[in-house]
């Protein structure tokens, strides 16, 4: 199980240990892909470019980005995933990555739990 908190801004966040570093990861329920990762992690996962993807963002904005395939350690297992890479330090976890998990966000207690359900 992965646990986290709901920040003062109302955003659910969990902490992941990747490539020898602790990273803050936003659970983005409006993102139906797998991952958006910092550019610095691309070589850590031996990501293979797999073409382009067009994403529709809030407000109708379209963004075209390179799409990569990689093996991603998540909740005690390594799973095949698709990711885009962006400058900065932010990780976004999308709903497709969570497809075999139960996500519980308790805004009252500010607790986040991601638990394997399958």
Sign of the torsion formed by the C-alpha atoms of 51, 41, 83 and 77: positive
Residue 12 Cα distances to 26, 43, 65, 85, 91, angstroms: 6, 27, 25, 21, 12
Backbone angles phi, psi at 45, to 5 degrees: -105, 10
What's the pLDDT at 4?
98
* CA dist., res. 14 & res. 4, Å (int): 4
| Per-residue pLDDT tens digits for 3-60 | 999 999 999 999 999 999 999 999 999 999 999 999 999 999 989 999 998 877 778 8
Is there a contact between 23 and 91 (Cβ–Cβ < 8 Å)?
A: yes
Domains annotated on the chain, with CATH:
2-116 (2.40.70.10)
User: Is 0.85 surpassed by the pTM of this model?
Assistant: yes
State yes or no: pLDDT of 96 exceeds 80.
yes
Place of tokens 């409006």: 30
């Amino acid at each position: 199980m992965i646990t986290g908190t709901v920040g003062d801004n109302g955003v659910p966040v969990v902490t992941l240990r990747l490539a020898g570093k602790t990273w803050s990861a936003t659970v983005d329920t409006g993102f139906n892909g797998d991952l958006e990762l910092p550019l610095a992690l691309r070589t850590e996962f031996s990501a293979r470019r797999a073409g382009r993807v067009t994403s529709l963002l809030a407000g109708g904005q379209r963004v075209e980005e390179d799409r990569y395939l990689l093996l991603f350690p998540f909740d005690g297992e390594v799973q095949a995933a698709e990711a885009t890479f962006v400058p900065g330090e932010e990780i976004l976890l999308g709903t497709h990555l969570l497809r075999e998990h139960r996500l519980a966000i308790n805004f009252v207690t500010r607790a986040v739990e991601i638990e394997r359900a399958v």
